């Protein structure tokens, strides 16, 4: 029931670019928090986690797959550029998360290699994979659509999502190579609440 509420709640926000949320200082987790999701995920370091393990940081999330040759390299570059623009004094309050839509190919070993290839192997970077079912569920929460169009390729939405420290959607940006000033401003605003 809780997940249904999350999906409906976040889907209704899909048409809005911004969704103002309560202060990150709130200690209770709202029904809209991704920390309510019970799904298990595996990191690039082969560690099992749940979303609630990320609580307390601002999350910047995108869904990609490592064998992608078109949109994903641009999304990865956008994430790196966003990370570079986060003020130094706030970087430890932000987690940049790349979630695979291709868990069959994107094993922890492959995600680790990809993180190193793309100079995204610092502590601020997290790569996640899970079952196909969990991945679909999480994509619905982020309003990311994807489908397999060939054995190696997916068609997918290009959305960068910002979650506050309580796991509530604070902002989404759609598109490739667009200005991410608003995204960086929202990340900074949410991270400053944690000082």
Instruction: For 3-27, write each residue's pLDDT tens digit.
Output: 433 444 444 443 333 333 434 444 5
> How much is the pLDDT for 118?
94
Q: 141 or 131: whose pLDDT is higher?
A: 131
pLDDT of residue 110: 95
For residue 169, CA distances in Å to 74, 76, 124, 153, 155 come to: 23, 20, 19, 28, 24
CATH code of the domain covering residue 163: 3.40.30.10
Residue 72 assigned ligand-binding role: yes
Number of domains in the chain: 1
Let me know if residue 138 belongs to a domain: yes
% pLDDT > 70, the chain: 82
Write out pLDDT tens, residues 145-175. 777 776 667 766 788 999 999 999 999 998 7
When the pLDDT of each residue in the chain is averaged and rounded to a whole number, the result is: 83
Please give the pLDDT value at position 89: 96
CB 106 within 8 Å of CB 100: yes
Question: Residue 177's domain spans which residues?
Answer: 34-193
Asked whether residue 13 is domain-assigned, the answer is: no
Residue 14 within any structural domain of the chain: no
- Domain-located, residue 4: no
Q: How many helices (H) and strands (E) does the chain have?
A: 5, 9
Q: State the residue for tokens 């911004």.
A: 18
Residue 68 labelled as part of a binding site: yes
């Amino acid at each position: 029931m809780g997940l249904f509420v999350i999906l409906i709640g976040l889907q209704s926000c899909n048409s809005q670019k911004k969704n103002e949320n309560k202060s990150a200082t709130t200690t209770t987790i709202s029904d809209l928090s991704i920390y309510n999701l019970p799904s298990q995920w595996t990191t690039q370091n082969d560690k099992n986690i749940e979303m609630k393990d990320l609580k307390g940081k601002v999350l910047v999330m995108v869904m990609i797959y490592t064998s992608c040759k078109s949109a994903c390299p641009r999304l990865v570059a956008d994430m790196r550029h966003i990370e570079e623009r986060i003020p130094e004094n706030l970087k430890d309050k932000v987690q940049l998360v790349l979630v695979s839509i291709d868990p069959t190919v994107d094993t922890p070993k492959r995600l680790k290699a990809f993180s190193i290839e793309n100079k995204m192997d610092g502590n601020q970077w997290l790569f996640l994979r899970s079952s196909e079912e969990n991945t679909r569920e999480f994509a619905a929460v982020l309003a990311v659509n994807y489908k397999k169009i060939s054995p190696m390729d997916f068609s997918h939405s290009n959305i960068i999502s910002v979650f506050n420290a309580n796991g509530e959607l604070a902002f989404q940006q759609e598109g490739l190579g667009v200005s991410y000033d608003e995204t960086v401003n929202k990340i900074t605003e949410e991270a400053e609440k944690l000082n």
